[in-house]
Structure 1
Amino acid sequence: MKQKMLAKAVGIALVMAPLASQAAVENIQYFGYAKWGNIYTDNDDHNNGKGERNDVIRASEGYGNYRLGNELNWWEAGLKADVWQDGDAYFDTTLYLGSGESWGDVSIIQMWSAGHGLFASQPNAKVWAGERFYRRHEVHMIDIKYWDTSSTGIGIEDWDLGFGSGHIAWMAPNSSADGRSLHNIDARISDIAISDTADLTFGLNYIFTQNSSYEESDITTSGAMLSALYRQAWDYGSNTFAFQYGTNALAGGLMSAEGGSNRKYSTGVEHDGYSWRVFNSGDLNVNEDFQVMYSIAYQDKNLDNNDGEKWFSVGARPQYSWTDYMATALEVGYETVEAQNGAGTNDMYKVTVAQMFQAGKGVWARPSLRIFATYSEKNDEWNRGGDTYGTAMRNASGKDSVDEVTFGFNVETWW
């Protein structure tokens, strides 16, 4: 194991060395994100009774999770550098590394280059290609990226349309159902100003399989999704409202989350139907010392095979700063998932209190060092038998209820 870790470290160093050593490299920017710590539980059924949780608390068959005191370990770090320039035209390259839940599990998660200033009439536009986290939108508190097309791709973005910025991309993800290669055409218009403090974003995604020759005639091979975002800022904080409507292979949405990433692209299964969802989230600054982060979300996924569900999530995280560097937060979250075929309803609620030492006041101050305790209760009435796209079935034992106390510590930081 140590030899494998050493080999990975050497390989990563060799990859990054040219960017750091070439004389032509300029304007190097470093950035990253990390969350790391331990969560302990009083429930011996978790993780074979080892005393630690190795998964997050959420409603079974749901999507997000209320993340305060309830998130798995992860770090990512990278750099971007200008590697060539000729007058106003230049190319940069981004290299980004990320981990799994152990230090030795490291891989390259982004590697892409962009050309800037290539069009005389469009000085802000750029052409890009590679593996990229592409223009993701998320609700931080419930750890959901609800519009996430991250994958290998090529595109043009930041094209000035006069009333907004245009973006077009051809992405190449894999189907989350059968691993088959997909084509994802992503078209967006962002930064449509409707006031000095508010703007709109609209987008359309269309996916289809590279090889649509399935033996079954009713297998889903394509899908589309429409997205609309309204962002508003004011003296007391900010709010984002998002509406999405997806069909067939995108009926599950383009969500990356603890319960959603394996349902992003559902080709290769019988999955025709539609879904619509709303996310409303933001932060409220009551005064200098007291802020509240909040989120409400709902999705209605209605499928022809009756295997959809209705998902609802609501929660808030008020936080009070005792000094410039110490704060206390209380997060309360509730989530429920109702099976379309009437198999039952799963729900979960959790309450977490955290004492934090952080770099300044406010809900977005980072780094944040935390010690926390959580009480949660889950009630499960149905499941899919371990199959992502399986039929919803009522639990043989009826309602399974679990209440649990967890506690621990972690750090969250970004730069």
Structure 2
Amino acid sequence: MKNIIQRLTPRFPSMPTALAAAAMACCLPAAALDYQGYFRALAGSNSSHGGASCFQLAGALAKYRLGNECEVYGEFWLGQQVGKVADDGAVFNANIMLSYYSPNASSKSDADLPQIYVQGDKIPELNGGSVWLGRKYYKREGLGANDFIYWSGRGFGGGVEDVPVVGDLKFSYALLRKDNLVATTSGLLPATGALADNGSNSATRHDFQLRGIPTNRKGALELGISLIVKDAKGNADEPADSLHSGYGVTIQHRQSDINGDGENKFAVQYGKGPGTGGADQAIGAIGNLRDDKNISRLRVVEGLYTQFTPRWGAELVAIYQKDKGFTAERTVLGVAENKVWTSLGTHLVYGISRRFKIGMDLGVDTIRPDDGPTRRMTKFTFAPTISSGMGLNARPDLRLFYTYAKWNDAARLAADSAAPGSALSSTGAFGAAKSGSMIGVQADVCF
């Protein structure tokens, strides 16, 4: 989802926010504290007379979101200007993001600090570029309809960002360390991806990007290369000679200003070894350090967002991804296997009146393993919504939704192995059935 968030001056923060704000402002002159926020919460009942049950195909790295996010999740960002140089315009800010995640709206929950960093902007020595240090969401690129973060940096590190070179061309470099306090680029706990795969082993990531290479009117190329250098000595379970370095490359074309604020992104990505990202969505993120140079990931991504008219808005998604090089010993069904994943979907919103709109999405995911039957899942959601506006990105949304999903035998068998107890598995809410539905309500808000 393309978050459109307004910065506001808070009236009076909640207790945790107040403590964080006080810590940031302890030695600073009085100044306005900026904040942004986002949260969603869902409650529902499935067609087997159980609670909320969401649908994802084993092996697919994303699922279509509308009426299919069973968790409570929130992000709350605080920013404080900590320095400004009057004679040259340089500005320094401290930033903290708090996140909260509770699966299935249960009492079990996780809180995190996915972002905590200091950034200097408009630095004369960098030709007006920026410098930062800490932990931050670094130049994340995603698809809104299925929340697929395909290109990103995450971890503790620092770098220079958006340094003007010539014309609109800007250069960025980041040095990122694998951070044991952060699970994946998604920020969700418990630990998955590189954190779970690599244990106490670590790696350094060098991320280079050039953005703003002009191609056509309102269009530009964006290039990135991520070099992952393993520096672990290994341990008793994973000796040093079993760990590897890797890389990831991204070439993206961005077409901006489509019907106003709309844009189209087309990306081609390739990763080797840990540069595939492993169980993480982002190619170039630090993946499994046991993955050698024979393991690769090729991905093509197409994503369009546009508001065709004041009433009609749409997001379109297409993904092709091929993973290869896994030996039988390294194959883990649904996680690490030689396969092709394709995904095609759309999210549509039609505004009936100023405060009432209809949201719909339809997504089809297919996994074709080199060794095994093809598995498929189709998911559809219809969601009447009370909102602040008719647009696709108008928030808050107060939704009543109906979600239906259908899958084949191969998808059920894969879920039995990769995700027992999940909606598609025979031990999940729908048993041996190959379809299921859910009805519920959801709040979704940016502020």
TM-score, normalised relative to structure 1? 0.84
- 1:193 and 2:184 aligned: no
Moved more, 270-279 or 14-23: 14-23
- Counterpart-to-counterpart distance in 2, 1:192 and 1:367: 36
Deviation, 1:356, is 0.9
Shift of 1:51: 2.3
Deviation digits for residues 267-295 of structure 1 (CA, Å, limit 9, x no counterpart): 13567321111111113444332222211
Residue 156 of structure 1: CA displacement? 0.6
Q: 1:24-65 deviations in whole A, cap 9, x for unaligned?
A: 253532112111121321236xxxxx5232xx3111121110
Partner of 2:190: none
Equivalent residues of 2:234, 2:243 under 8 A apart? no
Provide the C-alpha distance between the structure 1 equivalents of 2:403 and 2:239, rounded to a whole number of angstroms: 47
Q: CA deviation at 1:304?
A: 4.4
**Deviation (angstroms), 1:385:** 7.7
| Preserved CA contact (<8 Å) 2:58 2:415 | no
d(CA) in 2 for partners of 1:93, 1:184: 24
Q: Distance in 2 between the 1:213 and 1:151 partners?
A: 20
Compared with structure 1, are the counterparts of its residues 59 and 253 closer, same or farther at alpha carbon in structure 2 (3 Å cutoff)?
same
User: For residues 319-371 of structure 1, what are the alpha-carbon distances to aligned partners after superposition, in whole Å with 9 as ceiling and x for unaligned?
Assistant: 2111122111221110011223x122221101110001112122111111111
Tell me the equivalent position of 1:79. 78
Structure 2: how far apart are the matches of 1:279 and 1:89?
37
Q: Output the CA distance in 1 between the equivalents of 2:392 and 2:265.
A: 16
Identity of aligned residues (%): 23
Residue 357, structure 1, aligned to residue 386, structure 2? yes
Query: Offset of 1:22 from its aligned partner?
Result: 5.3
Determine which structure has the larger strand proportion and give its number.
1
Q: Which residue of 1 aligns with 2:242?
A: 219
Q: Is the 8 A contact 1:318 1:331 kept in 2?
A: yes
Aligned to 1:290: 312
- 2:42 corresponds to which letter in structure 1? G
When the two chains are superposed, the root-mean-square deviation of aligned CA atoms in Å is: 2.9
Q: Corresponding residue for 2:198? A: 178
Structure 2 residue aligned with 1:391 = none
Of residues 132, 136, 151, the one that matches 1:132 is: 136
Instruction: Give the aligned residue type for 2:24.
Output: L
Shift of 1:167: 0.4
State the partner residue of 2:440: 408
Q: Please list, as runs of the form range in 1=range in 2, the aligned pairs for 1:14-413 lying within 5 A after superposition.
A: 14-20=19-25, 23-43=28-48, 50-53=50-53, 56-71=54-69, 72-87=71-86, 88-101=89-102, 105-120=110-125, 122-123=127-128, 125-163=129-167, 164-174=169-179, 175-176=194-195, 177-179=197-199, 180-213=201-234, 219-233=242-256, 234-235=258-259, 237-252=262-277, 255-256=280-281, 265-269=287-291, 272-305=294-327, 307-340=337-370, 342-381=371-410, 383=414, 402-413=434-445
Inter-CA distance 120–217: structure 2 relative to 1 (3 Å threshold): closer
Q: Structure 2 regions of 5+ residues with no counterpart?
A: 1-13, 180-193, 329-336, 420-425, 427-431
2:365 partner SS: strand
| Aligned 8 A contact 1:39 1:52 in 2 | yes
Task: Name the TM-score, length of structure 2 as normaliser.
Answer: 0.78
Q: Compute the displacement of 1:207 (Å).
A: 1.0
Contact 1:35 1:74 in 2 (8 A): yes
Structure 1 contact 372–408 (Cα < 8 Å) conserved? yes
1:206 deviates by: 1.1
- Counterpart residue identity of residue 74, structure 1: Y
Q: Amino acid of the residue matched to residue 254 of structure 2?
A: R
Letter in 2 for 1:354: A
CA distance 1:269–1:198, change in 2 (3 Å): closer
CA contact 2:203–2:286 (8 Å) conserved in 1 = no
Unaligned runs of 5+ in 1: 1-8, 45-49, 389-394
Contact kept? 1:379, 1:401, Cα under 8 Å? no
- The Cα shift of 1:401 comes to 5.2
CA deviation vs aligned residue, 1:194-217 (integer Å, no higher than 9, x gap): 344212211001112221547668
Q: How far apart in 2 are the matches of 1:62 and 1:277?
A: 13
Aligned length: 386
